[in-house]
Amino acid sequence: MTNELSFLPENSFLEFVTLLQEQLANEVNLNSLPCSKIKNISAVDVAYDSERSVAAAVIWNIRTRRVIEEVTCSDRVVFPYIPGFLALREGPAALKALRRVKHKVDLILFDGHGIAHPRAAGLATTMGILLHCPTIGIAKRLLVGEFSKDLPISPIRLNGKNVGYSFALGSNRRFYVSPGNMCSIEDIPRVMSLIGPNYPAVMRLADSAARKGLKGLENRTDSNIT
């Protein structure tokens, strides 16, 4: 069996997780999301140093386009990054932050893919199923699949199916959006016009909040040592 795990010396654990992911994919809900019902969304991102992670959840009101809540929390790094298994590294920290969010959120954005994944079980899909809520994956690079550079908004094709969309930013850069859970392929362009239309500001805010939180940890440690 040659696959993305073959470089691992001992891969029985990831083979096991692969089976879990294949089962998860059967539970994904790709029904249309009522876009008119979306009031508040959250973006989640995680920053790391060698032993600590900081997850940030930024909650954003669609109508006012303003931040209404921000949560950060630190944790231990529990797993390395392995392509196809980002949820094992990022999921636990993201969950911890999301549990502290006070507002009701109608949609959660994750920094990574949803069903645009070898087993249709990316970070956004995994978290959406765990949380029983609508999620979307927003990635800066492609993991699997193909798209057309000729189209400003191109479908991402994987095994002959549409699994998301690639959005052009100017002429060179692109980002990639796929349903996580409780969201259809057709919803993706609709939602992006609501929260974008470019790379979502709330996603960037989560990214910078997580980094800022990590620096806060480092500085706190420095003063204790100094």
Partner DNA sequence: GCGACAG
Partner DNA sequence: ATCTTGTCGC
Letters for 133-172 (x = contact with DNA by CB under 7 A, - = none) are ----x-xxxxx-----------------------------
**Binding residue (CB under 5 A) for Mg ion from 41, 45, 97, 145:** 45
The nearest distance, CB 45 to Mg ion, in angstroms, is 4
- The long-range contacts involving 77-82, CB below 8 angstroms and separated by at least 24 positions, are 77/48, 77/50, 77/51, 77/52, 77/53, 82/8, 82/14
Window 38 to 57, contacts with DNA (CB under 7 A): 45-49
The answer, yes or no, to whether the previous bond of 197 is cis (omega within 30 of 0) is: yes
**Binding residue (CB under 7 A) for DNA from 83, 152, 197, 216:** 83
Question: Identity (one letter) of the amino acid at 189?
Answer: P
- Helix spans in 99-200 (H): 123-131, 187-195
Q: How far is CA 107 from the centre of its chain?
A: 12
In the complex with DNA, the residue whose CB is nearer, 59 or 206, is 206
Which of DNA, Mg ion, none is residue 142 near (CB under 5 to 8 Å by kind)? DNA
Contact 81, 93 (CB under 8 A): no
Q: How far is CA 98 from the centre of its chain?
A: 13
Interface with DNA (CB under 7 A): 2, 4, 6-7, 45-49, 81, 83-87, 90, 111-113, 117, 122-124, 137, 139-143, 207, 211, 214
Interface with Mg ion (CB under 5 A): 45, 111
